[in-house]
Structure 1
Amino acid sequence: MLFDYLCSALDFLPACFKVADPVKQGEGVAAYVSYKVRTKTTHVNYDAPFNEVTRRFRDFAWLHDKLVEKNKGHIVPPLPEKSAVQKYQMATDFIEQRRRALQVFLNRVASHPILKDSRELQTFLQANDEQWMLETAKWQAETSAQHRPVSAAAQWFKSLQHSAQSLVSGRADDMQEDAEYIKIRDYVNSLENHLTEAHRQAGRLLRKEADLGSALAEFAAAAEQLGKQDSEGPMRVAFGCLFTRANEVAALSRARSEAIAVEFAAPLKEFARTIKSVQVAMADRAAALSTYSQAKSDLDSKKVRLAKLRGTPGLKEDKLAETERDVNEADQRLRNAKLGYETIRDTMREELNRFQKERAAEMSAVLRDFALAQAHHTAEQAKAWGELLRDLQHAAVGGS
């Protein structure tokens, strides 16, 4: 299973984090689920080797958003998607699926070579109720400030600026990018669709397995009723055997459907979500390159203006000095933008190498376990039908 693979990959924890004991709190649209997050660690920055806190989904969102904000260019593990409909219904299977997904998210963060040492992860895992309430209140205030309404004119200008940046940071910037990175970027973008389709087909597979289990159970019940028509004859025994073995196969199919959901479909969905996290890091890189390109263009235009002013007779010294300051400031912005881009570029080089190696190993493990489980499931089904054949042969001998 994916979770077992992640546990074995953790290098600073003797045991994985556990997200457990989901409890529904409240009713209706205000309802939410709280989870116990248990930590066992030997990390030197943690106050105790064991700890337990109570967190809800929005608290995990705090951790995710903080990590994205503070770690540009890094691939921050994804959270499970929000679902207003499922949240309102609060079905048991939805709560369990989210619990497992949150556990995978947390352990991916813990296995990341940089994120595992973050103050945000430490705060999430250790803060008591009072500390955590202050931290999240501060975050909510900052988030609200960032999303305050702006005037229509300001919004239009922001939209225009964003469009210009998108144009610059798109294919026009490919000439400044590394060819190998462009190849990986295009591969990642195409991989998302393929993983999404693979997850959709895995969903079809588990539904068909569940339907097969239901059909076999209904067939078994019908066979039992048919056998009862022969009150004491061999047909009653034969159909009774069919009822027993068909129910066994039906139970196997239902169990296999549930296993496919957890061990195959869920990892595929998580892989697809992770591609979006990679795309977020790539967007950070594109934005940094766009900023760098714009800073370079701005410096060039200011240098041209300075050259023209220097050739203008009778120009006041203060005007020339002001333009020279503009050039120096633009030059500093260019240096900062270049450093920002190069930092993200170097970070992503390591991140993408790590991502490709880890995902290849994880995907291979998931596919191997799926194949082994399918082979075992098929063998168990064949065993049940073989036992039915022996049951029928014994019934025939007994009735002759």
Structure 2
Amino acid sequence: MWMEQQRSPSGSSQSPRSPSAQPYLLVSVTDPVKLGNGVQAYISYRVIAKTNFPEYLGPEKIVIRRYSDFVWLHDRLFENYKGVFIPPLPEKSAVEKFRFSAEFIEMRRQALDIFVNRIASHHELRQSEDLRTFLQVDEEVMERLRSYETGIFKKPADLMQIFKDVQSRVTDVVLGKEKPVEESHPEYEKMKHYIFELENHLAEAQKQAYRLVKRHRELGKSLSDFGNAVKLLGACEENAIGKAFSELGAKSELVSAKLQKEAHELLMHFEEPLKDYVRAVQSIKATIADRGIAFRQQCELAETIKLKEINLDKLMLTRSDKVRDAEIEYREVSHFT
């Protein structure tokens, strides 16, 4: 048991939090509950973390989290761990009638459980302070963090600056003032091509899986309707024909139930895993995009350093009184390399 002492092979007792114990972090997302009404309604989850990591407050912690809290964790990790593959989140359903269906809630619970356990099993992400926060703080603290640290509530001035930066960048490219810098390496290009092709193939497979599930459900529904109709017809007959109709209707309903069960199994064990693979590939593409941004920034920094160096050399040749300022600027820029 979790709270019991473990015994070493020699037979001596060993505390789960002792230095010699095998480090572990196990997380489970359970007990989805609908809270609130109307547009304010949401699903909460019980998140249970069990660990012997000394950074955690205790061997077991139970907190209540909602979907937006998982989004907060994902976004924080994506921001703080550039170049690291961040596991994907399940998509958010915008269709009200599906958002609170038992099937959708269970699919999301499983996907969130996979998401957080992938983080917990990653050698670098599992050490994240954001993960510790997510797994330990109470709901009020989590709500404040979600409100003020996700960047959702940016000031209008910040948004305008972002727009101006993008507009300026696009204008420079269009006018030929700046050419987009792209990393060019045979192995890297081969890997990118593979990822893009893989996404297309997985997306097509997921589409076919969706059609297969839909077909099973529609066929099951049709057989159920047929069975009900035939049973009603059989009830109108009192002879052997009526009995045959009733038996046919019952058999149709049995086959319908079997098809509906198969549709659910296909959804959970075929379509949903494919959707998860598609999301994973999309997360890899996001990491690739971040790498591209970092590469361009590195090239821009190298160009800036080169220009600063040329400017400094010119000033030193002319013995300008601006040499000292130029040296300071050059050292400041070089510090980032």
> In which range does the TM-score fall when normalised by the shorter chain?
0.7 to 0.9
Secondary structure, aligned partner of 1:35: strand
User: How far off is 1:221 after superposition?
Assistant: 3.1
Q: Are 1:122 and 2:129 matched, yes or no?
A: no
Q: Are 1:258 and 2:264 matched, yes or no?
A: yes
Q: Which amino acid aligns with 2:183?
A: D
Distance between the aligned counterparts of 1:118 and 1:83, measured in 2? 28
Distance between the aligned counterparts of 2:159 and 2:191, measured in 1? 40
The equivalent residue for 2:217 is: 210
User: How far off is 1:230 after superposition?
Assistant: 5.1
The equivalent residue for 1:199 is: 206
User: How far off is 1:184 after superposition?
Assistant: 0.8
Say which of 289, 307, 330 aligns to 2:295. 289
The equivalent residue for 1:332 is: 335
Runs of 4+ residues over 6 Å off in structure 1: 165-169
Q: 1:174 to 1:128 in 2, by over 3 A?
A: closer
Q: Which amino acid aligns with 1:80?
A: P
The equivalent residue for 1:52 is: 62
Report 1 or 2 for greater relative contact order, CA contacts < 8 Å, sequence distance ≥ 6: 1
Distance between the aligned counterparts of 1:169 and 1:191, measured in 2? 29
The equivalent residue for 1:64 is: 74
Q: Is the 8 Å Cα contact of residues 29 and 88 (structure 1) preserved in structure 2?
A: no
Say which of 125, 139, 161 aligns to 2:169. 161
Q: 1:107 to 1:86 in 2, by over 3 A?
A: farther
Q: Is the 8 Å Cα contact of residues 147 and 153 (structure 2) preserved in structure 1?
A: no
Q: Which amino acid aligns with 1:25?
A: L
The equivalent residue for 2:7 is: none
Q: Is the 8 Å Cα contact of residues 165 and 290 (structure 1) preserved in structure 2?
A: no
Residues 311-330 of structure 1 aligned to structure 2 (within 5 Å): 311-312=317-318, 315-316=319-320, 318-330=321-333
Count of aligned residue pairs for this structure pair: 314
List alignment gaps of at least 5 residues for structure 2. 1-21
What's the CA shift string for 1:259-294, capped at 9, x where partnerless?
111111111111111122112211221111111101
Q: Which amino acid aligns with 2:275?
A: K
User: How far off is 1:155 after superposition?
Assistant: 3.5
Secondary structure, aligned partner of 2:157: coil
What's the CA shift string for 1:153-181, capped at 9, x where partnerless?
874344323676999795x4233xx3212
Q: Is the 8 Å Cα contact of residues 37 and 125 (structure 1) preserved in structure 2?
A: yes
> When the two structures are superposed, what TM-score results if normalisation uses the length of structure 2?
0.81
Distance between the aligned counterparts of 1:151 and 1:36, measured in 2? 36
User: How far off is 1:138 after superposition?
Assistant: 4.3
What's the CA shift string for 1:212-260, capped at 9, x where partnerless?
1122223333443454565233x44444443333322211100011111
The equivalent residue for 1:78 is: 88
Secondary structure, aligned partner of 1:116: helix
Secondary structure, aligned partner of 1:325: helix
Distance between the aligned counterparts of 2:219 and 2:281, measured in 1? 33
User: How far off is 1:28 after superposition?
Assistant: 2.1
Distance between the aligned counterparts of 1:293 and 1:310, measured in 2? 26
User: How far off is 1:208 after superposition?
Assistant: 0.4
Q: 1:276 to 1:247 in 2, by over 3 A?
A: same
Q: 1:33 to 1:283 in 2, by over 3 A?
A: same
List alignment gaps of at least 5 residues for structure 1. 1-10, 336-400
- The alignment's C-alpha RMSD in Å is 3.1
What's the CA shift string for 1:298-328, capped at 9, x where partnerless?
122222223333443xx43x22232233333
Q: Which amino acid aligns with 2:334?
A: D
The equivalent residue for 1:242 is: 248
What's the CA shift string for 1:190-212, capped at 9, x where partnerless?
32232222222211110100111
Distance between the aligned counterparts of 1:213 and 1:246, measured in 2? 9
Distance between the aligned counterparts of 2:251 and 2:295, measured in 1? 65
Q: 1:24 to 1:331 in 2, by over 3 A?
A: same
Q: Is the 8 Å Cα contact of residues 87 and 118 (structure 2) preserved in structure 1?
A: yes
Distance between the aligned counterparts of 1:222 and 1:151, measured in 2? 60
Q: Is the 8 Å Cα contact of residues 78 and 105 (structure 1) preserved in structure 2?
A: yes
Q: Is the 8 Å Cα contact of residues 231 and 246 (structure 2) preserved in structure 1?
A: yes
Residues 364-383 of structure 1 aligned to structure 2 (within 5 Å): none
What's the CA shift string for 1:131-162, capped at 9, x where partnerless?
4345445425x6534x5435868743443236
Say which of 27, 32, 48 aligns to 1:38. 48
Distance between the aligned counterparts of 1:71 and 1:116, measured in 2? 12
Q: 1:327 to 1:192 in 2, by over 3 A?
A: same
Of 155-164 and 282-291, more deviation after overlay is shown by 155-164
Identity of aligned residues (%): 34
Of 156-165 and 213-222, more deviation after overlay is shown by 156-165
Q: Which amino acid aligns with 2:292?
A: A
Q: Which amino acid aligns with 1:274?
A: A
Distance between the aligned counterparts of 2:198 and 2:33, measured in 1? 36
User: How far off is 1:87 after superposition?
Assistant: 8.2
Q: 1:237 to 1:130 in 2, by over 3 A?
A: closer
What's the CA shift string for 1:34-78, capped at 9, x where partnerless?
111122334443333332111111111111111111111111111
Q: 1:203 to 1:153 in 2, by over 3 A?
A: closer
